[in-house]
Structure 1
């Protein structure tokens, strides 16, 4: 870590906090906190014994335990957001348990006819979860119908303060906390780490996880020493259901839905079922399954990543090319949960939790490419011109990809006196299996003039009628392949915790160890064909399909898609004539070995921490130490004038490092309804596998021979990984104020700052007239991820929630939720005088929701907003690629016929918001993808 850190300060604080470990009494009070009307458990309820200054939090099942009490009579208080405070007198004997249950009534200020159910109760539960936490935390909980508010876990988290979601094909996919790349945040299931099914990143795509198999989602923004250190953004924890959370100890639920996509007219459908039961009050089982089938379209316009200068000196920037894509997508999600719990007595809790998700993505991608920047440029104006030798392609790609996540965790915790011992062993496996990824490509046979016009924001390229004739397109290339990316994860964890009470102070000491072993492999086989040796030319007209005449709805113009290869016809033609297609050896080698690797990563961690409550303040201090030991295998592929060894030589690399991560946190209850929080934490961000493996693709071609010296000059390009990368190291500072409003609301403000060392950026270097590995190069381009110098992120978070239950009549059904996050980030990168923002870092992120709930009717209108953010660096600031501003409006309505039966209707993307990229400046459109709106209706049944 950085030299100005003082890790042993936090360790000393932890030791000081844990010093008074003696106790003299053995009486205790135990019980459960529930909601009076439904009997539903109220998790994280605050339970106090004011006479002794003792405070505990109920667990997720509403159960609480206050140990080591002297004999006597006490007033026990239970407080819950939205329900006020309830008091009971309890008598404690010298030894043994005194049992006292608490049933909390209607929410404070509620009118008699208003029932606290559905989304309103879910909001209250989430507020209590936040208030009771000793860290900076947000959560989204299921309502009393057992449903989270969105279809997948990623979209659900888009409602949380400081959280934004990047989309893929219009669906929320990657969760970014405070704008930090999702690869730099942890994703866990019931507190246990899960792997990433994608090889090029550590990000976990949360659109693979159906929301209706989860009971809660948590976002932990400030790390504590008992959490994994790889969490610069934070930790997302997916919580699966427990039957012990249910008031009756048993439940059954089922949902079914059916919908409509406006752009393509398809009808998505899905359903879920869940069952749980407690046997003999000790053994609990939960089984749940979910299935959804979504088929839809999206239309895409691309202009190459950056805009570039035309050939004339001093000319304006223009798109690199124009590409049109008409996606047809089918996504099938299957989710399963099987949780078994055994509680032989009140001091022993054992569990075996299992989750399996399977996400099937079938994409057919017809594409038309206008490669118009060739030949001479004529008739140039500030916004238009004609190139004399334009080229073009018409192609179709079809890919079937299966992502799966398996997590199985066996463990428990045992209470022995004042000590709690928690243990677990977890096995996880993730896969990204692509059984086929095939492309058939046809190119324009003759070069033709092509004109561009950028006077409109939706710029166009005109290639004339010849470009629409399928007889003018000849076979260019076919690629057929498959890939398997696998990661196996084995985790062993042991934690010890001891509560203590001393005078008017209480707290705990906690320490433990964790071992994580993960192995990630990528294996791709791809054969590329670049010629056809048949008697006649192979033309597009032989396998063509006509494109959608209404392609790309736009207020200003329609793009003509025209003919493209029918995938089934082209695939059949290939299989019938496979022996007449010629293999491109160079591309086959590059595609078959360039992304193959093996990574073995072992992390050994230990920590010590303590918590101390002094009056109305709680302090947490401690230190975590993590040692990372990584080995890599990949391939070094060197093409000399198009030829390379097959197979190429394998290369290895390794990296070993240790991180010391001290943390210090404080929560101060200025009043019962006002909390002040502060935190100083340290976290890391490990490089992705693709960045870290020592692969290299080196293309070398002879350029010229110097007549005077006889020296041969070459041109070359290198794309490579970097096994010497250091992890990002972040020192994080947080201050927050939370005011919990009556009857059920919150006004909050927070300030955070992250000082980050070793940020990773992709560096492109151009060497001219230099020697490299025994050859002289006129020009050599080297592209490789490297550690930059430093980066900083400063941010402000604001939030407001309120349920207006004290208003008269129908107005009492209204509620509102508003959040806003502002961040300012900058990083010093290579070969740039000016600083750049961090990747994925939006300056403005906001969410707003207005809801109304009364008499079984629930209405919710929600808007999420995210300003532009940097996606990738170009050769200059004018060519940096940004994802543009995105704001989406959604609506949901539901009606509860009875406590058992309800129906819902929702519309997403009402405002038809696209996914949009721009090159350097908002006026330069680089990509625009449209989806239109979609609707879903369904029924829920539960008893």
Structure 2
């Protein structure tokens, strides 16, 4: 594990570093960019765009910003939705709902998330943030930093997303914001509820703020999954047709607050803040899989003998993040000091108990002429099928992370070589402990005394496709409770040792950064050094195994911001980054077959990924709340982490086999990773161009074209997971007479999913959303009341995924979503 970032930079940036050293390059503290909260007004779209663009224009790095009211004006369910409209950011959805962000088309793991400058672990595996865990209403603004400063975490290969929460000093005196909404998911008539309340009070020195929110969404997901292939003549081969209907209820809740003192002397600010956010996904799955006994060929088949399997799941996915911070800002002579102590706990759990029936038999016809609407025709009722055996299948997963962080930043103004400059220094110690296990099935007996058909409700599935099998809903909850009453469903003691995670990780980071002003703009340059120590513990064949290592990364960066004209800015950046393995990948636990000399599982010797990147952009702020910009980016990534089969020294896992070449299947390091792209962005208002009433029109559009690749151990060239070649967003809005209307379109073309089989890929996706807001024309002492109506997925899209052989392997639809509500601000 070496210092490749430093070496790569030395090959490509000697001139840039020499110039930076000569002129004395620059810096800014973490929170230099200021953006006031935008309250509901008669022109919320224009005002929030103006605030975001003002902050972007003043920033010392390449950044895009979403302000508070922009978040409120869109029909967003969570932060992923809010971020997905920025240039270069694409969304990955789960059953139609935004969950992950591909920043710059990069894998999820290349983006770090932070609250008020404090980065937090990803609950699922220590690295990857899930944005559906965080509701939009907790945020005052979001900064998507695409070119990372030395003061930001090095684990930001693609970018660093900093979520700013509210402060009691955002408004003077007493302030309150409330949001109540109700709606419906079209497929399945599911209920949608939304509640949010935030209150604050402040005087000249003291402030207190508290907030809470709850969201609930019920929906049906109509799902078809396939196992298909083609023969040498291109004929379709049918291996399995899988009919599923999901009834899900997703809930998130968040609450927290801040107590803050602001002084006029040496102590300028002291505060304590806390944030708790929880996401729960309650999932009922009714599934029937049909597998031909002999190879079925062609798009249609008659009187085909099929085996049938049935899954009836009553499951729960849940994750939570609780983060608390004590902070103080003070002036010590010429130095401004910021100190933070943070404690964060994350938890992620999956519990899927499934009565799994196998060995059913039927004769059936099938028709795949419309591949997204597969049809299987049975000679009788689905409920008449008899199964040879029912197992008690229990899928479980768990990971708990505790992180303690100490952070100090110091800055001072000075004159260096005749230039007005700011020197910033900082240090951070991040101590993390992770304990849990990866997803695994626990297979046992199902109580013989339970007749599953007693729980068949007879209610036909809600479906966008043809329910030709006559699928009906079962009372999965009742079936689960009967099972739990008759048997012990605990999985304690049943977790396989090769699936365990036990990791301790310490990261010590220090940085120095200098920001210098010139007549033509400014330069920011510096160096961040991150020292990582980790240990990974496991058990192999009842023998304890512990792997320890440490490594250091030197992460320089240079940012040049040139004011070509009063309204025209040119940015050039060179930066470096590191991406450490997830805790799932780093675990020192695996399944070892001594006879076959094979190992499957974690890879505690995995190297971190190293990256060097270049960014440039031209930004023209040609009118109020308007911009035309073009940006380009390039990243080189070494030690690309992916899953493959490789050769290792058997002694790593079995000491007696030291020196022997064993086969390993799991996470390994590839090489020669690259991603590059071009971003175009335009926001324009008609207020100075068109006469009334058309002067209320406006547009916002952005497009990103990109490509990526890396080389595997055997020399194959693959795309980085998550990369779409084309992503674009377009909004048309009208804002006048106290009414704001916005129609938004999102598109991304096909991409490989990092959370699925890497040979699989999602097809292109598009979404059309509409939001309408009416601000009541009242004057009640700074009170603003607005009514809103949101509609998501107006075109009722079906999302499709494909297997590596090019055949479809999943299609799912979920219908349109409608929400109406009221917001009050005073």
Describe the SS at the equivalent of 2:753: strand
Describe the SS at the equivalent of 1:725: coil
Contact 2:447–2:487 (8 Å) recurs in 1: no
Summarize the alignment of residues 213-224 of structure 1 with structure 2, pairs less than 5 Å apart: 213-224=138-149
Contact 1:309–1:317 (8 Å) recurs in 2: yes
Counterpart Cα distance in 2 of 1:482 and 1:244: 44
Counterpart Cα distance in 1 of 2:349 and 2:303: 43
Q: Which residue in the other structure is 1:744 paired with?
A: 625
Q: Which residue in the other structure is 2:208 paired with?
A: 285
Q: Are 2:323 and 1:407 aligned? A: yes
Describe the SS at the equivalent of 2:718: coil
Counterpart Cα distance in 2 of 1:260 and 1:572: 29
Contact 2:25–2:516 (8 Å) recurs in 1: no
Residue 397 of structure 1 and its aligned partner are, at CA, apart by 1.1
Q: Residues 119, 790 of structure 1: CA spacing in aligned structure 2 closer, same or farther, 3 A cutoff?
A: same
Residue 607 of structure 1 and its aligned partner are, at CA, apart by 1.1
Counterpart Cα distance in 1 of 2:440 and 2:584: 18
Counterpart Cα distance in 2 of 1:670 and 1:116: 34
Q: Which residue in the other structure is 2:746 paired with?
A: 864
Contact 2:408–2:427 (8 Å) recurs in 1: yes
Counterpart Cα distance in 1 of 2:486 and 2:384: 20
Q: Which residue in the other structure is 1:159 paired with?
A: 85
Counterpart Cα distance in 1 of 2:736 and 2:805: 47
Residue 417 of structure 1 and its aligned partner are, at CA, apart by 4.3
Q: Are 2:710 and 1:790 aligned? A: no
Q: Residues 449, 765 of structure 1: CA spacing in aligned structure 2 closer, same or farther, 3 A cutoff?
A: farther
Q: Which residue in the other structure is 1:398 paired with?
A: 314
Of 332, 348, 351, which residue of structure 2 is paired with 1:432? 348
- Structure 2 gap segments, 5+ residues each: none
Of 525, 530, 550, which residue of structure 2 is paired with 1:656? 550
Counterpart Cα distance in 2 of 1:20 and 1:133: 13
Name whichever of 331-340 and 813-822 sits farther off.
331-340
Residue 831 of structure 1 and its aligned partner are, at CA, apart by 3.6
Contact 1:514–1:606 (8 Å) recurs in 2: yes
Contact 2:460–2:473 (8 Å) recurs in 1: no
Summarize the alignment of residues 459-498 of structure 1 with structure 2, pairs less than 5 Å apart: 460=374, 462=376, 464-465=378-379, 468-480=382-394, 483-498=397-412
* C-alpha distance after superposition, 1:717-740 (max 9, x if no partner): 753111111111111011110111
Q: Which residue in the other structure is 1:846 paired with?
A: 728
Describe the SS at the equivalent of 2:263: strand
Residue 20 of structure 1 and its aligned partner are, at CA, apart by 12
Q: Which residue in the other structure is 2:567 paired with?
A: 673
Contact 1:731–1:756 (8 Å) recurs in 2: yes
Counterpart Cα distance in 1 of 2:315 and 2:283: 5
Of 512, 525, 528, which residue of structure 2 is paired with 1:624? 528
Counterpart Cα distance in 1 of 2:205 and 2:754: 54
Counterpart Cα distance in 2 of 1:782 and 1:390: 36
Q: Are 2:113 and 1:187 aligned? A: yes
Counterpart Cα distance in 1 of 2:444 and 2:611: 48
Counterpart Cα distance in 2 of 1:724 and 1:57: 39
Describe the SS at the equivalent of 1:741: coil
Counterpart Cα distance in 1 of 2:613 and 2:579: 13
Q: Which residue in the other structure is 1:359 paired with?
A: 279
* C-alpha distance after superposition, 1:673-693 (max 9, x if no partner): 110000110001111111111
Q: Which residue in the other structure is 2:469 paired with?
A: 560
Of the two, which has the highest radius of gyration?
1
Q: Which residue in the other structure is 2:181 paired with?
A: 257
Of 518, 523, 536, which residue of structure 1 is paired with 2:432? 518
Cα RMSD of the aligned pairs, angstroms, is 3.4
Q: What TM-score results when the alignment is normalised by the length of structure 1? A: 0.79
* C-alpha distance after superposition, 1:162-182 (max 9, x if no partner): 111111222111112101112
Describe the SS at the equivalent of 1:155: helix
Q: Which residue in the other structure is 2:795 paired with?
A: 911
Residue 596 of structure 1 and its aligned partner are, at CA, apart by 2.3
Counterpart Cα distance in 1 of 2:288 and 2:596: 31
Q: Are 2:243 and 1:243 aligned? A: no
Contact 2:291–2:306 (8 Å) recurs in 1: yes
Counterpart Cα distance in 2 of 1:264 and 1:564: 12
Q: Residues 455, 914 of structure 1: CA spacing in aligned structure 2 closer, same or farther, 3 A cutoff?
A: closer
Counterpart Cα distance in 1 of 2:430 and 2:26: 33
Residue 577 of structure 1 and its aligned partner are, at CA, apart by 4.1
Residue 574 of structure 1 and its aligned partner are, at CA, apart by 2.7
Q: Residues 906, 845 of structure 1: CA spacing in aligned structure 2 closer, same or farther, 3 A cutoff?
A: same
Q: Residues 449, 590 of structure 1: CA spacing in aligned structure 2 closer, same or farther, 3 A cutoff?
A: farther
Q: Are 2:822 and 1:939 aligned? A: yes
Summarize the alignment of residues 365-764 of structure 1 with structure 2, pairs less than 5 Å apart: 365-372=285-292, 374=293, 376-377=294-295, 380-381=297-298, 383-384=299-300, 390-434=306-350, 436-446=351-361, 448=362, 453-458=367-372, 460=374, 462=376, 464-465=378-379, 468-480=382-394, 483-501=397-415, 505-523=419-437, 528-531=442-445, 534=448, 540-546=452-458, 548-549=460-461, 551-554=462-465, 557-563=466-472, 566-575=475-484, 577-578=486-487, 591-636=495-540, 648-698=542-592, 718-764=599-645
Counterpart Cα distance in 1 of 2:597 and 2:808: 31
Q: Which residue in the other structure is 1:123 paired with?
A: 49
Contact 2:447–2:486 (8 Å) recurs in 1: no
Name whichever of 401-410 and 815-824 sits farther off.
401-410
Q: Which residue in the other structure is 1:704 paired with?
A: none
Of 788, 794, 810, which residue of structure 1 is paired with 2:693? 810
Q: Residues 812, 346 of structure 1: CA spacing in aligned structure 2 closer, same or farther, 3 A cutoff?
A: farther
Residue 595 of structure 1 and its aligned partner are, at CA, apart by 3.1
Q: Which residue in the other structure is 1:709 paired with?
A: none
Residue 569 of structure 1 and its aligned partner are, at CA, apart by 4.2
Counterpart Cα distance in 1 of 2:216 and 2:406: 36
Counterpart Cα distance in 2 of 1:666 and 1:592: 53
Contact 1:734–1:753 (8 Å) recurs in 2: yes
Of 122, 145, 149, which residue of structure 2 is paired with 1:196? 122
Describe the SS at the equivalent of 2:499: coil
Describe the SS at the equivalent of 1:126: helix
Residue 457 of structure 1 and its aligned partner are, at CA, apart by 2.4
* C-alpha distance after superposition, 1:828-855 (max 9, x if no partner): 114454x211100011111111111112
- Structure 1 gap segments, 5+ residues each: 22-43, 45-55, 63-81, 83-113, 638-647, 701-713
Contact 1:14–1:609 (8 Å) recurs in 2: no
Q: Which residue in the other structure is 2:270 paired with?
A: 350
Summarize the alignment of residues 267-306 of structure 1 with structure 2, pairs less than 5 Å apart: 267-279=191-203, 281-304=204-227
* C-alpha distance after superposition, 1:680-709 (max 9, x if no partner): 100011111111112213579xxxxxxxxx
Q: Residues 18, 352 of structure 1: CA spacing in aligned structure 2 closer, same or farther, 3 A cutoff?
A: farther
Q: Are 2:136 and 1:211 aligned? A: yes
Counterpart Cα distance in 2 of 1:214 and 1:468: 49
Contact 1:743–1:805 (8 Å) recurs in 2: no
Counterpart Cα distance in 1 of 2:592 and 2:436: 20
Q: Residues 658, 317 of structure 1: CA spacing in aligned structure 2 closer, same or farther, 3 A cutoff?
A: farther
Counterpart Cα distance in 2 of 1:599 and 1:468: 48
* C-alpha distance after superposition, 1:92-130 (max 9, x if no partner): xxxxxxxxxxxxxxxxxxxxxx98731210111000111
Counterpart Cα distance in 1 of 2:113 and 2:514: 25
